[in-house]
Amino acid sequence: MTDIYDVVIIGSGPAGLAAGLYAARARLKTVIIEKEKAGGQIVTTEEVANYPGSIENASGPSLIARMVEQADEFGAERVLDTITEVELEGKIKVLKGKKNEYKAKAVIMATGAKPRPIGCPGEKELTGKGVSYCATCDGAFFEDLEIFVIGGGDSAVEEALFLTKFARKVTIVHRRDELRAAKSIQEKAFKNEKVDFLWNSVVEEIKGDGIVESMVVKNTVTGELTEIVADEDDGTFGIFVFVGYLPETKLFDGLVEMEKGYIKTDADMHTSIPGVFAAGDCRVKSLRQVVTATADGAIAAVQAERYIGEVFDI
C-alpha cells in the first residue's frame, strides 16, 4: 500500500492548500496536484482586506505563499500535473494525469472556478490584446490610459479601485443602476475621483485590429447601442472583465451530483460518492471567498481522515 496516497487533493488554491495542511498535519500521506501554479483566483488579487487577521493588507500572492509554506512544512507533497481522468468508485480511487497515475483512499476536489467571459463577439480574439480578467497581471500595461471594468460585484469594484493606480480614468460598466458590491467597497469607489460609472449597460461587441480599439455597449433600459472609441492619441483602452466565475468541474461531470456545474456536498464536504469530498469555489455554496474556501478545505481533510479510519480500519 506504500504506492497509495491517503489523500489526493486536486487543486492548490486556498481550499486545496488548507486541505493539504490539515491532512498532512494529521499524518496522512498527502499529495496536492495542480496543473499550473498554486493559488487559484486569489493570486490575481492585489489586496485581501477581508481575510481575518490580514491587518497588514496582505496581497493574494503573499497570502498564498504563506499557505504553501505551511502545507510544505507539515509534509504535504505538491506536484504539477493535469488530471485527465478519474475513477472514483470503490475503496481505492484512481486519478490519471498527463504525467503520472495516482491512487488514493480519499479524494478532495478543490478545482475552483475560472473567470466567466462576457460572451460577446471580439472578446476571445482580443483577449490579451486589451481584454483581461486579471487586474494585477495586466493593470500596468494601461499606464495613463482609460480602462473599462465590466461588472458590479465585490471583485469588479475592488479591481477597479486597484486599476486607478495605473489608469487616468476607470469606468465601471454595470448592467443595473446600482452596484452589488459591499457598501464599504462602494463608498470607496464613489469617493475616488478617477472612477466613473456607466449604468444599465452591457457590452455587445469588442472591436479592434490586433488590439482593442472600441466597444459597443447596449443600454438595458432603452436598447440603445453606443460605440465607445479609444481616444485618438491613445489608440486603445483596457477592458477588464469581472462578471463572475465558471466552476472547473468538467472532469467530474456525470460522476458526482452537481447543480448548475457546481458539485453538491453536505455541510461536511461529502459528495455523492463515499470517500470523495469537494471544497472551495467548485462546490455549491452561498459565499465564495478565501475565508470560506479555507474552511471548506479544513473540513474536507478532517472528514477524509475520519472516512479513512472507518473504511480502512486505521
Residues recognised as catalytic: 134, 137-138
Return the beta strands (E) in 98-248 as ranges: 101-109, 113-115, 131-132, 146-150, 169-173, 195-198, 201-207, 214-219, 225-229, 238-241, 245-247
Beta carbons within 8 Å of 44's beta carbon, 6+ residues apart: 60, 133, 134, 135, 136, 137
- Grid cell locating 242: 469581472
Going from the C-alpha of 205 to that of each of 24, 155, 165, the distances in angstroms are 48, 22, 27
- In the block, residue with C-alpha cell 492548500: 17
Rounded to an integer, what distance in angstroms lies between the CA atom of residue 31 and that of residue 23? 9
DSSP one-letter code for 264? P
Per the CB < 8 A criterion, the answer to whether 152 and 177 are in contact is no
- Grid cell locating 129: 490584446
The neighbour count for residue 245, using CB atoms within 10 Å, is 17
Nearest by Cα to 196 from 217, 167, 223, 219: 167
DSSP one-letter code for 282? G
- Grid cell locating 296: 471548506
The neighbour count for residue 266, using CB atoms within 10 Å, is 10
